Amino acid sequence: MAASQPTPFRKTVETFTAGARTLPQRYFVAPEIFAEEQVKIFGRQWVCVGHQSQLAKAGDYLVQEVAGESLILVRDLQGTVQGFYNVCRHRGTRLCETASGHGAAIQCPYHAWTYALDGRLVGAPHMDDGPRFEKADYSLHAVRLALWEGFIFVSLSDLVPPLEKVFTPLAGKFGHWNLPLLRSARRIEYDVSANWKLVFENYSECYHCPGVHPLLSKVSPSDSAENDLTEGPFLGGFMAIKQGKSLTMSGEACARAVGDIKAEDHARVFYYSIFPNMLLSMHPDYVMVHQLWPQSPARTLIQCDWFFHPDASGSDPSGYNPEDAIEFWDVTNKQDWHVCELSQKGIESRAYQPGPYSPRESVPAAWDREYLRQLG
């Protein structure tokens, strides 16, 4: 979907809704609302489940749970990324037990029904001995799957419009970051004792940065945010990076540029939230992506990947130091998770009441509006 040329950044005028307040307590603690979110949001909308580079070769697969459903993501022999429910067509047995791997086919561990990488049933021992049986009638159940900028999205619903239509506001916007070509150098998983919405709200503002992120604030001024997406499922914009600096522990670039980054963008970091589970942070020399997986009203699993240009390590080994960026954001992430956990604890108190958003929190307020709209 990405155009070959970048879309120029255009700042839009943000309108802060006077009187906007944080969500009521029940949205962060009630099991019935958590269950409703799983059905209406994670069980319906397009959800990010990975990047195509994680399925580099035919036979590579991932297993991801979405809204209580276990899904197999696999690259078939034609190079196409496929998605299937992790359920055997014989007696419903779970097919893949490991989170990732490689195989020439998908075989049930119970009765050895075997499926090709494109989901076709190709082996069913002794089934030909009984009444008429056609393998073609028992392919794996497919899940709706689409790619956006190299990232894999699935939807469990047939009612949601195609991904290309839903993602129209982002069409061509990030072409010059080479997102489909990038490779993850590292993944860190965080188990955070906070509601998933608090993580989104935290990501969407830097009102908290001077006190919570002293290292980040030294290289990226907390008052430099300019947002161009301010309503709907896609929110965010850029913040300035001090001239000649990078968001790393050393303050220096840790790799070659990820793409054809224009002059002004070498001094910017772009932050976008993609509803309902993706946080996309684009730096000149790397891209960081968070996937959020709610586990309960007060617990969220976060998978964080750091992506680099595929030629970064080979082009200039002395200038490729991914740990410089990974350590920087690991420190910053943990600072964010800590305050999110403190928020969760406070919201659970009988003393909690929705508080007023400041004018510097217009994007979290907009995120809340979109969340409530999606929840219906």
| pLDDT tens-digit map of 260-295 | 888 788 899 999 999 999 999 999 999 999 999 999
Pick the residue with more confidence: 19 or 239? 239
Question: Could you give the CA distance from residue 233 to residue 183 in angstroms, rounded to a whole number?
Answer: 26
What average pLDDT does the segment 201-220 reach?
Answer: 95
pLDDT confidence bin for 244, thresholds 50/70/90: confident
Judge whether residue 243 has pLDDT over 90.
Answer: no
Task: Note whether 201 and 275 are within 8 A (CB).
Answer: no
Burial 322-334 (b: 16+ CB within 10 A, else e): bebbbebbbebbe
14-23, 278-287, 305-314: which has the minimum mean pLDDT?
Answer: 14-23
Nearest partner of 280 among 254, 311, 255, 304, judged by Cα: 304
Q: Are strands 226-229 and 151-155 parallel, antiparallel or unpaired?
A: unpaired
Q: Which helix (H) or strand (E) holds 341?
A: helix 322-347
pLDDT at 298 over 70: yes
pLDDT at residue 264 in the model: 86
Res 13 pLDDT > 50: no
**pLDDT band for position 4 (cuts 50, 70, 90):** very low
- Return the pLDDT at 10: 47
Class of the domain covering 26-43+175-375: alpha beta
* Bridge partners, 291 (sequence order): 278, 303
- Res. 26: pLDDT tops 60: yes
Q: What is the average pLDDT score of the chain?
A: 93
CA distance 162 to 142: 15
More confident residue, 129 or 70: 70
Calculate mean pLDDT across residues 210-230: 94
Asked if the model's pLDDT at residue 335 lies above 60, the reply is: yes
What pLDDT does 3 receive? 34
Query: What is the average pLDDT across 108-128?
Result: 97
276 exposed, middle or buried (CB, 10 Å; 0-12, 13-18, 19+)? buried
Q: What number of other Cβ atoms are within 10 A of residue 310's Cβ?
A: 14
Give the class (CATH, top level) of 47-166.
mainly beta
- pLDDT band at residue 317 using 50, 70 and 90 as cut-offs: low
Residue 347: pLDDT band (50, 70, 90) is: very high
Q: How confident is the model at residue 14 (pLDDT cuts 50, 70, 90)?
A: very low
Contacts 24+ apart (CB under 8 A), 217-221: 218/242, 219/245, 219/246, 219/247, 219/251, 220/247, 220/269
For the chain, give every residue range classified as CATH 3.90.380.10. 26-43+175-375
> For residue 167, what pLDDT is reported?
97
* The predicted structure's pLDDT at residue 315: 62
Predicted TM-score (pTM) of the model is: 0.94
Average pLDDT over residues 184-199: 98
The whole-number average pLDDT for the span 346-361 is 97
Share of the chain above pLDDT 70, in %: 94
pLDDT of 15 over the 90 cut? no
Top pLDDT among 224 and 8 is at 224
* pLDDT confidence of residue 18: 63
